[in-house]
Structure 1
Amino acid sequence: MTDTYPFARLVLLVAAAGLLALLSNRLTERIRIPAPLLVLVAAAVAVKAIPDLHHPPEQLVERLVTVALICILFDGGLHLGWLKFRAAAAPIVTVGVLGTFLTTAAAAAFVHWAFGLSWFLALLVATAIAPTDPAVVFSVLGRREVTGRSGTILEGESGANDPVGIALMASLIAAGGLSAGAFGQIAGQFVLQMGVGAAVGIVGGRALLWFMRAVPLPSEGLYPLRTFACALILFGAATLAHGSGFLAVFIAGILLGDERAPYKREIERFHSALASLGEIVAFVVLGLAVDLAVLTRANVLIPGLVTGLVLALVIRPVFVGLCLIPARLAGNERNFVLFAGLKGAVPILLGSFILAAHVPDAERLYGIVVVVVVLSVLLQGSLVPAVARLLRLPMREVEPEPWAIGVRLRNEPEGVHRFTVTPGAPADGHRIDELHALPEDAWISLVVRADRLLPVRGSSLLQAGDEVLVLADPDLHDVLAATFGNPVSSA
């Protein structure tokens, strides 16, 4: 029992720190600085100010952040879903893969020529700072959600370029340098990781969907835990097969996003909470690993600040802008995507890979990466709401919905369709009895507007933003979608 009080003290401190991290999101709504940055800075200051706190081992940092990223990417895939991904698949893949390579190459050239780093070290730094984290963007926007393809592209880009950046960094470190043979090795390793990761994600996602539907469990609380365990299995299987485990879990999440399965809502809520916790854990652990004394050195601070500005104001607008040309986005949407390429946990994780590899001047390189991330989140992050307003970006208010109404059924319901009425759709601004394109055997059973249930009558007037529940033959989904607009997952 001698350890009881020290352990209780540790539990108290960890719980209090976690609660403060959660409440930091409320502060974010007022000061427009993303909560992850507040957590990162607080952890870095704490490890410097509190004598009993120490920098965690590099291996522990990598493992904790890796598990956190599995949670974040799987939840990101669930939230994105196949329907949204398919609508913007070409720009997501182009920006997420080609855009990452172009950004890496341009940033490496700048760091090499501007600060005299060798090509290999410059490429390591550039690879670390190339991936983006739009989750930080959405954190700053608070209860406002970006509508249209720009929001989907930002979400998809993050999910795609994180595995790309991690795979590229692993290939570079394994090669140990740059040469004609090394380039071939790097390319081969990268293609292998992407190919195997995609294959495991597709096969594993389909297998997981079958598993969720076919194998019942004794308690509803076990269903989310099973999905989480399976996501970890997919990551491990893909990694052991020399593939990208991160890509595998992201793709599996996408394939599950729009599918129906027992306790799907509970599963989605669980993974959303797990992803939020993962983000907090990742930034706390990464903050504890940061040495503030290193960040204030001139050969770290100046290259980090300059590189961050050039990356945000020149490199991303030019090279990612080129990748977005075929997407034919509206000017305001394209400009917002180019501006909102914020950095997050993955660049710092990749920086820790550099530390663990013990490359020359690794501590300085890691410091430069951290400075770039802090500048991106602080400067760009704080300006995101103002830029969104300036560009008149199409957005919608997302209010909390703490109350729910639903009916539990023993068997999977057939022919249940959920839609959100989109602006300009045939149903927008029309009464229910005026929807002549609606099949005769389709029955509108529920309409929700501004968090309120509306009585369903023939004279009920539908408006953009209304959520509509329709009972109809499953084969009529496309016809109904043409009448109402966007389907809502997990009907």
Structure 2
Amino acid sequence: MPDVEPFSLVILLVAAALMVAVASNRLGQRIRVPAPALFLVVAAVASDLFPVLGQVPIKVDERIVTVALVFILFDGGMHIGFRRFRSASAAIVWIGVAGTAVTAAALAAAAHYFFGFDWRASLLLGAALSPTDPAVVFSVLGGREIAGRSGTILEGESGANDPVGIALMASLLAAGGGGLSAVAGGVGEFLLQMGVGAVVGILGGYGLMKLMRHVGLPNESLHSVRAIACAAFIYAAATMLHGSGFLAVFLAGIIVGDSRAPYKLEIERFASGIASIAEIVAFAVLGLSVSLRDVLSSGVVLIGLALAGLLILVIRPVLVGLLSVRIRLKLGERAFILSAGLKGAVPILLGMYILGSGADHAQAMYSIIFIVVLISVVLQGGLLPYLASAFRVPMRRVEQQPWALGMRFSDEPHGLHRFVVAEGSAADGATIADLELGEDGWISMVRRDGHLVQVRGGMKLRAGDSVLALSETAEAVAELFGPRA
């Protein structure tokens, strides 16, 4: 077995790199630099120091990032859930679709008129840089979660515009050429991808929910593996039917997010861990596929900086801001959403699509995408926590809770529900005795700031409390703890 030691060395290096990447999240919090930026820069430097690292074919990189994005979108959909999505669905769809289109068009116009790219290259560049990334936003907020409707819109928009941006890129690449026939073909391809992706995602989500609820497995750990495998299956099925697999897997995650199912908490944690690793992989692959020497000597640095400035200071605040006028938000929340359009894994993938297509100026466009993503994550991401504080965006700190005590049941405990008291809800500031839980309803447990609180009738609940309640009328009770309409 002569290759055992060399193969072990490969495993050692990969494992060490992964451990360093995970630990860099703590380092990023201390030095106030978002962790994704560290992955990006370190990987780019490594590819210059060790050129062999950057010799992976672009198709392989593209497939790696595709798989990573499937898990990121599935976890993002689960995090939103159907109840939260339904409360802001119109705003999410409007900003996710119209906002992406406007951003892509404005960037394309800037690339054509200011920097001399032809229209095809300009449209490809605009489509690549139009989607945003919720995972990067969460990583730079440092353990804080955006509360209320603004958080739902931000997460939903970032999840929705990823499939839209990818479908837009696929339509542009498939259209080729020019003229009305190419435009019509591109529009038809886009609508086909969105429609098929939505149908497969909804059917797949409900199918996965039924599977989780009614089909047991001999080992509890296998439930999490099955859910992730089903997400990959839904993506592949939609793609093979000429639909958007990314939209399908995002919608499937939303549908599964609120479902009550055995081992649901374990599934959510497993999916979140896989998505975190996937984000690391996506940024590392971008860094390894780019040579800093080539980027700095290619003459596109100023173009990348200019497009990043236009995107952050003009296009999103002004154009997307005009689209958001019809959405009911506080001024500070609106300003924060418009300043939080960070770039992440999807522009990386779309840049690889451009490279793989052999389009004119493909390498220059890929270098520009690298610069814009880096500026967005470092500068825009670094300022985001301060902007959130300045705009007084409602946030809550998500404390880690490494210790847990719980009970498991062989059958679903009917009537047992967990709620989180939303700010401004009927339960916020009310005593337990004053809550209208019905004749058979009562609160059995309250967790506040990570600690167990003794339940008494005169105890006042406050925003952020986790409540374990028994009630046969879940919908009515949920309205007490959720945000007011």
Superposition TM-score, scaled by structure 1 size: 0.96
Corresponding position of 1:20? 20
Corresponding position of 2:139? 139
Q: Residues 82-231 of structure 1: matches in 2 within 5 Å?
A: 82-231=82-231
Counterpart Cα distance in 2 of 1:415 and 1:178: 60
Contact 1:294–1:300 (CA under 8 A) maintained in structure 2: no
Q: Which moved more, 1:23-32 or 1:197-206?
A: 23-32
One-letter amino acid matched to 1:481: A
Q: Residues 417-428 of structure 1: matches in 2 within 5 Å?
A: 417-428=417-428
One-letter amino acid matched to 1:206: Y
Contact 2:91–2:327 (CA under 8 A) maintained in structure 1: yes
1:485 aligns with 2:478: no
Q: Which moved more, 1:460-469 or 1:76-85?
A: 460-469
Q: Which moved more, 1:9-18 or 1:246-255?
A: 9-18
How far apart are residue 337 of structure 1 and its match? 0.5
Contact 1:197–1:246 (CA under 8 A) maintained in structure 2: yes
Corresponding position of 2:466? 467
Q: Residues 313-352 of structure 1: matches in 2 within 5 Å?
A: 313-352=313-352
Deviations 1:345-376, CA, capped at 9 Å, x for gaps: 11121111111000112111111111111111
Q: Residues 389-468 of structure 1: matches in 2 within 5 Å?
A: 389-435=389-435, 437-468=436-467
Counterpart Cα distance in 1 of 2:117 and 2:480: 58
Counterpart Cα distance in 2 of 1:248 and 1:27: 35
Corresponding position of 1:312? 312
Contact 1:65–1:349 (CA under 8 A) maintained in structure 2: yes
- The 1:298–1:57 alpha-carbon spacing in structure 2 relative to 1, beyond 3 Å, is closer
Counterpart Cα distance in 2 of 1:96 and 1:341: 11
Q: Residues 249-398 of structure 1: matches in 2 within 5 Å?
A: 249-297=249-297, 299-398=299-398
How far apart are residue 6 of structure 1 and its match? 1.0
Counterpart secondary structure, 2:145:
strand
Counterpart secondary structure, 2:409:
coil
Q: Which moved more, 1:208-217 or 1:188-197?
A: 208-217
Deviations 1:141-166, CA, capped at 9 Å, x for gaps: 11111111111111111111111111
Q: Which moved more, 1:457-466 or 1:445-454?
A: 457-466
Corresponding position of 1:66? 66
Counterpart secondary structure, 1:400:
coil
Identity of aligned residues (%): 56
How far apart are residue 462 of structure 1 and its match? 2.2
How far apart are residue 453 of structure 1 and its match? 1.2
Counterpart Cα distance in 2 of 1:54 and 1:129: 23
Counterpart secondary structure, 2:418:
strand
Query: How many correspondences in the alignment?
Result: 484
Deviations 1:329-355, CA, capped at 9 Å, x for gaps: 100000001011011111121111111
Gaps of 5+ in 1: none
Deviations 1:83-135, CA, capped at 9 Å, x for gaps: 11111111110111011001111110111000111011100001000111121
Q: Which moved more, 1:50-59 or 1:359-368?
A: 50-59
Contact 1:78–1:253 (CA under 8 A) maintained in structure 2: yes
State the 4+ residue runs in structure 1 displaced beyond 4 angstroms: none
How far apart are residue 12 of structure 1 and its match? 1.1
Deviations 1:163-204, CA, capped at 9 Å, x for gaps: 111111111111113321110000000000000000000011
One-letter amino acid matched to 1:133: D
Contact 1:294–1:364 (CA under 8 A) maintained in structure 2: no
Q: Which moved more, 1:313-322 or 1:453-462?
A: 453-462
How far apart are residue 460 of structure 1 and its match? 2.8
How far apart are residue 53 of structure 1 and its match? 2.8
Counterpart secondary structure, 2:392:
coil
Deviations 1:208-262, CA, capped at 9 Å, x for gaps: 1111112111100111111111111111110010000000000000000001111
Contact 1:420–1:486 (CA under 8 A) maintained in structure 2: no
Q: Which moved more, 1:291-300 or 1:223-232?
A: 291-300
Contact 1:91–1:323 (CA under 8 A) maintained in structure 2: no
Counterpart Cα distance in 2 of 1:52 and 1:58: 14
Counterpart secondary structure, 1:456:
coil
How far apart are residue 52 of structure 1 and its match? 4.2
One-letter amino acid matched to 1:357: S
Counterpart Cα distance in 2 of 1:185 and 1:107: 22
One-letter amino acid matched to 1:453: L
Corresponding position of 1:57? 57
Deviations 1:397-447, CA, capped at 9 Å, x for gaps: 111011122211111121112111223333333332233x23121021111
Counterpart Cα distance in 2 of 1:399 and 1:192: 43
How far apart are residue 79 of structure 1 and its match? 0.4
Counterpart Cα distance in 2 of 1:393 and 1:363: 39
How far apart are residue 479 of structure 1 and its match? 2.2
One-letter amino acid matched to 2:444: S
Counterpart Cα distance in 2 of 1:276 and 1:451: 23
Deviations 1:54-98, CA, capped at 9 Å, x for gaps: 331111001100000000000000000001111111111011101
Counterpart Cα distance in 2 of 1:370 and 1:422: 39
Q: Which moved more, 1:422-431 or 1:110-119?
A: 422-431
Deviations 1:8-30, CA, capped at 9 Å, x for gaps: 11111111111110011001112
How far apart are residue 51 of structure 1 and its match? 4.8
Counterpart secondary structure, 2:469:
strand
Corresponding position of 2:6? 6
How far apart are residue 298 of structure 1 and its match? 5.3
Contact 1:443–1:472 (CA under 8 A) maintained in structure 2: yes
How far apart are residue 486 of structure 1 and its match? 5.8
Gaps of 5+ in 2: none
Counterpart Cα distance in 1 of 2:264 and 2:246: 22
